């Protein structure tokens, strides 16, 4: 067997408590790697088409990365996979910390759950076996308390736990799965799938060794990489130091400063993602006032600055890094106000600062910290919560709902105390909170009265805090990727920072193939997406890819011993992207089902600010992208010819095209 993987995964039926171990063979790993490549291959094969994601027969998978646990840098992320109850199509989410390594050390590359436990259950998974435990006493508890109680029983300091909070228990379609006291694999609503299975938590720990084919080569790669990664340029330090000034200049002139991986590395090392808040709010990257405002006028520089860089890190008690991470962008903060005063929690990341800040016109950092901690403990996605709150405020503002619908809450922009009370209702599914707990698309269907125009989403998933009018690559990601409304795959900026043209000859040929800047940008985006499939299958962190030229191909070959070319891996990335999209075709999802909200493409352009007058020809972007990746414009996924080329034909895909 090659290095990097254990060579097996298991299927656990929660109702019968039967465990099936599968050893798919080396060829399977060459074809799908691990991470969500493995996850998509297994679920497409095992799960019947058309199932309700919350039905007992659905599958939920936890997947480690191919490079996880090998000491390759940035390889500490795990993936959760399944059919999304939020979008109805392929769902995945990932998180860092140390769980991915412990999953693999328990003897498996992935664990899949099907069926529904007869009572609330948690599992202890080690290389010695799988043990079922009653979780009745844990049901209703938040993820921090759940972790504490389970670790008290296991008494193994290396134990890592994945659990759901009240959000997943109550089947909120915007709930996720948490580890490390509130770090959440948040998107796609997979916490609800876990809750529907009566699965409260899974503990992973073990002693299984993770093989590396060429350990000396791996050490050499790490040594050379780290030597370069630790370098710090004066120009980057000055850019970070004067980031606020640069941001204000861009806001007023539209003149942009090219981003470099080394500069972003300097920023993340100093502040983590909160270092982006002012820059994003001022340059048009951060959506303001439910995507209809302008940062410099509606939110203001002063408001953004209150929730940015040093104002966030002054709460920080200590920094932390995930397993195998040389960057260390995370932080534990002292919470100074609100219901969690006197405790510690994770500092709010940029997405949260944007979702609870500029999107809601809220500039009170203590409120944002409280909202963040509430979501982390309950296991709910902060991006979706911010989006659904903004939707509710705009509905209230326009008279579509009133105080009788909200139990007396007066929903207005920037009212921190009201936002906290509204989030309580969402977590508890109480009153208006029950309407909002499944996201903006379902909420708009329940409220009616034309409220859908205030629901900003793609395919049912609320959009992240990156405006597609600034970078149209985000528009492709939000509408066209297998998991809609996601910012962690590709855009024009990311693909440039990834350096795909330099790392993959096939990417360089692909991008040069077309004349015209717009068409080349779409091809650049596609190359970035292929690359990120590899990153996610490796269990690697996107921040490593954004802040450096990762030696990904060298890592793969040193760990596995395969000796494949860069272009062979690039083709694997393309295969995995189309495999995930094929799941959506099989489930009956068509392009019209993932259409991006009009505000995100400038259907009515903004009248001022850096994005003044900007609109996106989404039809042309989609058609161009589909043509590049070989997807059918009617069915919305890979054509039979593309499936055959990539070696991923399935009977479900063929049947879908036959029924066209």
pLDDT band at 653 (very low <50, low <70, confident <90, very high): low
pLDDT at 585 over 70: yes
Q: Residue 393 has what pLDDT?
A: 98
pLDDT tens by residue, 164-218: 999 999 999 999 999 999 999 999 999 999 999 999 999 999 999 999 999 999 9
Q: Which helix (H) or strand (E) holds 591?
A: none
Q: Which residues contact 228 (CB under 8 A, 6 or more apart)?
A: 548
DSSP-based three-state secondary structure for 646 = helix
- Residue 145: Cβ within 10 Å count: 15
Strand pairing of 60-63 and 110-114?
Answer: antiparallel
C-alpha 160 chain-centroid distance: 20
Domain 472-658 coded CATH 1.10.10.10:
no
Looking at the whole model, is its pTM more than 0.85?
Answer: yes
Q: Residue 254 has what pLDDT?
A: 76
Tokens representing 58 are: 């659905």
**120 has which bridge partners?**
none
pLDDT at 257 over 80: no
Average pLDDT over residues 62-69: 98
Question: Cα(554)–Cα(570) distance, rounded to whole angstroms?
Answer: 13
Question: Cα(408)–Cα(611) distance, rounded to whole angstroms?
Answer: 37
pLDDT band at 649 (very low <50, low <70, confident <90, very high): confident
The CATH number corresponding to 219-462 among 3.40.250.10, 3.30.70.420, 3.30.470.10, 1.10.569.10 equals 1.10.569.10
Give CA separation, 152 vs 131, 163, 216, 602, in Å: 16, 15, 39, 52
DSSP conformational letter for 255: -
Q: Considering the chain, what is the average pLDDT of its residues? A: 96
Which residue, chain included where needed, has tokens 């630790």? 230
pLDDT at 2 over 90: no
Among the listed residues 141, 145, 130, 119, the one whose alpha carbon sits nearest the alpha carbon of residue 203: 130
- Class of the CATH domain delimited by 9-204: alpha beta
C-alpha 588 chain-centroid distance: 23
Q: Residue 360 has what pLDDT?
A: 98
Tokens representing 314 are: 């002054």
DSSP conformational letter for 595: P
Tokens representing 158 are: 């290396």
Average pLDDT over residues 608-622: 97
pLDDT tens by residue, 443-474: 999 999 999 999 999 999 999 999 999 999 99
| Upper half-sphere CA count for residue 369 (Cβ side, 13 Å) | 30
Among the listed residues 61, 645, 102, the one whose alpha carbon sits nearest the alpha carbon of residue 322: 102
**178 has which bridge partners?**
163, 184
Ordered by start, the domain boundaries in the chain are 9-204, 219-462, 472-658
pLDDT band at 658 (very low <50, low <70, confident <90, very high): low
Task: Report yes or no: 592 and 48 within 8 Å, Cβ to Cβ.
Answer: no
Question: Cα(378)–Cα(376) distance, rounded to whole angstroms?
Answer: 6
pLDDT band at 70 (very low <50, low <70, confident <90, very high): very high
pLDDT at 659 over 60: no
pLDDT cut 90: percent of the chain above it: 95
**126 has which bridge partners?**
129
Give a three-class secondary structure readout of 22-73. Answer: ECCCHHHHHHHCCHHHHHHHHHHHHCCCCCCCCCCCCCEEEECCCCCCCCCC
Average pLDDT over residues 251-274: 90
Q: Residue 513 has what pLDDT?
A: 80
Q: Which residues contact 219 (CB under 8 A, 6 or more apart)?
A: none
pLDDT cut 70: percent of the chain above it: 98
DSSP secondary structure string for all residues of 169-219: HTT-TTB-EEETTTEEE-GGGHHHHHHHTTEEEEEE--------S-HHHHH
To the nearest 10°, report the CA torsion of 305, 306, 310, 314.
180
Q: Residue 515 has what pLDDT?
A: 84
Average pLDDT over residues 269-284: 97
pLDDT band at 88 (very low <50, low <70, confident <90, very high): very high
To the nearest 10°, report the CA torsion of 118, 120, 126, 128.
-40
Q: 517-538 vs 618-629: helix axis angle to the nearest 10?
A: 60
């Amino acid at each position: 067997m090659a290095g990097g993987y254990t060579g097996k995964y298991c299927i656990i039926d929660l109702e019968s408590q039967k465990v099936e171990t599968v050893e798919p063979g080396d060829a399977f790993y060459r074809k799908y790697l691990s991470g969500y490549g493995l996850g998509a291959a297994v679920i497409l094969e095992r799960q019947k088409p058309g199932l309700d994601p919350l039905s007992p027969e659905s599958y939920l998978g936890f997947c480690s990365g191919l490079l996880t646990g090998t000491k390759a840098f940035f390889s500490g992320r795990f993936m959760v996979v399944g059919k999304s109850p939020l979008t109805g199509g392929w769902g995945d989410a990932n998180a860092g910390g140390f769980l991915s390594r412990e999953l693999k050390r328990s003897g498996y590359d992935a664990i899949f759950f099907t069926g529904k436990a007869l009572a609330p259950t948690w599992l202890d998974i080690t290389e010695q076996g799988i043990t079922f435990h009653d979780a009745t006493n844990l049901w209703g508890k938040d993820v921090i308390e759940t972790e504490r109680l389970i670790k008290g029983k296991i008494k193994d300091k290396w134990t890592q736990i994945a659990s759901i909070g009240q959000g997943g228990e109550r089947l909120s379609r915007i709930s996720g799965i948490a580890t490390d006291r509130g770090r959440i694999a948040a998107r796609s609503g997979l916490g609800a799938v876990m809750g529907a299975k009566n699965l409260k938590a899974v503990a992973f720990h073990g002693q299984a060794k993770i093989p590396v084919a060429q350990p000396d080569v791996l050490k050499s790669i790490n040594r050379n990489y780290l030597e370069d990664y630790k370098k710090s340029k004066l120009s980057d330090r000055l850019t970070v130091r004067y980031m606020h000034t640069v941001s204000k200049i861009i806001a007023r002139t539209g003149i942009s400063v090219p981003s470099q991986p080394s500069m972003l590395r300097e920023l993340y090392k100093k502040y983590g993602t909160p270092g982006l808040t002012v820059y994003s709010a001022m340059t048009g990257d951060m959506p303001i006032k439910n995507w209809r405002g302008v940062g410099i006028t509606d939110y203001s520089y002063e408001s953004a600055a209150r929730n940015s860089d040093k104002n966030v890190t002054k709460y920080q008690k200590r920094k932390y890094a995930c397993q195998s991470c040389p960057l260390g962008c995370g932080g534990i903060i002292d919470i100074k106000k609100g219901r969690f005063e006197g405790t510690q929690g994770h500092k709010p990341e940029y997405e949260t600062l944007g979702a609870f800040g500029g999107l809601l016109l809220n500039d009170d950092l203590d409120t944002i910290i409280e909202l963040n901690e509430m979501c982390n403990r309950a296991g709910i996605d902060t991006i979706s919560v911010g989006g659904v709150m903004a939707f509710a405020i705009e509905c209230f503002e326009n008279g579509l709902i009133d105080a009788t619908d909200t139990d007396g809450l007066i929903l207005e922009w920037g009212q921190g105390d009201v936002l906290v009370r509204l989030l309580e209702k969402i977590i508890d599914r109480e009153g208006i909170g029950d309407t909002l707990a499944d996201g903006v698309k379902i909420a708009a269907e329940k409220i009616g009265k034309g409220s859908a125009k205030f629901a900003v989403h793609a395919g049912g998933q609320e959009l992240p805090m990156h405006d597609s009018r600034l970078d149209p690559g985000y528009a492709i990601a939000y509408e066209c990727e297998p998991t809609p409304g996601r910012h962690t795959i590709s855009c024009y900026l990311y693909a440039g920072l990834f350096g795909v043209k330099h790392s993959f000859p096939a990417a360089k040929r692909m991008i040069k193939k077309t004349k015209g800047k717009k068409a080349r940008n779409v091809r650049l985006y596609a190359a970035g997406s292929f690359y990120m499939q590899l990153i996610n299958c490796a269990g690697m962190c996107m921040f490593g890819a954004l802040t450096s030229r990762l030696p990904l191909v060298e890592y793969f070959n040193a760990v596995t011993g395969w000796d494949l070319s860069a272009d062979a891996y690039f083709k694997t990335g393309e295969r995995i992207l189309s495999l995930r999209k094929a799941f959506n075709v099989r489930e009956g999802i068509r392009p019209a089902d993932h259409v991006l909200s009009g505000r995100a493409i400038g259907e009515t352009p903004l009248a001022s600010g850096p994005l003044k007058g900007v609109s996106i020809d989404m039809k042309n972007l989609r058609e161009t992208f589909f043509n590049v990746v070989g997807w059918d414009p009617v069915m919305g996924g890979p054509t039979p010819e593309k499936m055959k080329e990539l070696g991923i034909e399935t009977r479900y895909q063929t049947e879908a095209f036959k029924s066209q």
